Structure 1
Amino acid sequence: MKIRIKGNSLRYRLTKSDVNSLAGEGYIQEQTNFLEQSLTYAIKTSEGNTLTAEYTSNVITLFIPAFMITELVNTDKVGFEEKGGPIYLLVEKDFTCLDNVDEDQSDNYPNPLLQKN
């Protein structure tokens, strides 16, 4: 799982394993350690109808409705967004990059643009 923060937008990118873990366990998290503190970012399934998020005690939690996880698992749906709150939220499948990167992408979804070529 990766996050990208820019201004008032928060974007989560999920690998195949991330989506499967969310479907099975309902919660995933990662942590970035600094010298004396850490930042945790997580996703938790909810019974709501929209994406929501909170930031408490150095933890960013994105709440995603269970039906959205089901769609990510069972369909070609790429992701979901929420524009209505104070922060723009986006959760999407993490595709393999089109250019060469040193990062391990073995658990990423196949990039649909590569399949067109």
Structure 2
Amino acid sequence: MKIRIKGNSLRYRLTKKDVEVFSANGYIEETVDFGNQTLIYALQRNNLANLLAVFENNKITLLMPDTMATEWELTDRVGFEGLYNELFLLIEKDFKCLDNVAEDQSDNYPNPLLKTHIN
């Protein structure tokens, strides 16, 4: 799972394995070790109606409603977005990049733009 923070927006991108773990457990997290502190970012299912985010004790938890999570897991839907207070939230499946990149992308979803990019 990747996190991107820019301005007042928060985006999570999940690989196929990440979505599989999230589907099975209703929860997934990653950590960033800064030596004397750790940042944790997590995605958690809940029974609320909208996306929301909480930041407590060096942990960002993005909460995803059950209805969204079920649709996301069972369909080709790429993701969901929402606004929580003034914070823009986005959760999406991670596609393979169209350009060559150094990171391993073997677990990413096929990029739907690949066909149009080749032609």
TM-score by length of 2: 0.93
Q: Counterpart in 2 of 1:54?
A: 54
Q: Is the 8 A contact 1:81 1:90 kept in 2?
A: yes
Q: Is the 8 A contact 1:51 1:62 kept in 2?
A: yes
Give 1:25 deviation, angstroms.
0.3
Q: Counterpart in 1 of 2:104?
A: 104
Q: Is the 8 A contact 2:39 2:58 kept in 1?
A: yes
SS at match of 2:90: strand
TM-score by length of 1: 0.95
Q: Is the 8 A contact 1:19 1:69 kept in 2?
A: no
Give 1:66 deviation, angstroms.
1.5
Give 1:84 deviation, angstroms.
4.8
Structure 1 unaligned residues grouped into runs of 5+: none
Give the aligned length: 117
Structure 2 unaligned residues grouped into runs of 5+: none
Q: Counterpart in 2 of 1:74?
A: 74
> For the aligned residues, what is the CA RMSD?
1.1
Aligned partners of 2:69, 2:107: CA distance in 1, in Å? Answer: 17
Q: Percent identity?
A: 56
Q: Is the 8 A contact 1:82 1:90 kept in 2?
A: yes
Matching residue's letter, 2:6: K
Q: Counterpart in 2 of 1:31?
A: 31
Superposed CA deviations along residues 16-70 of structure 1, whole A, max 9, x for unmatched, are 1111111110100000000210100000000111100000000000000112121
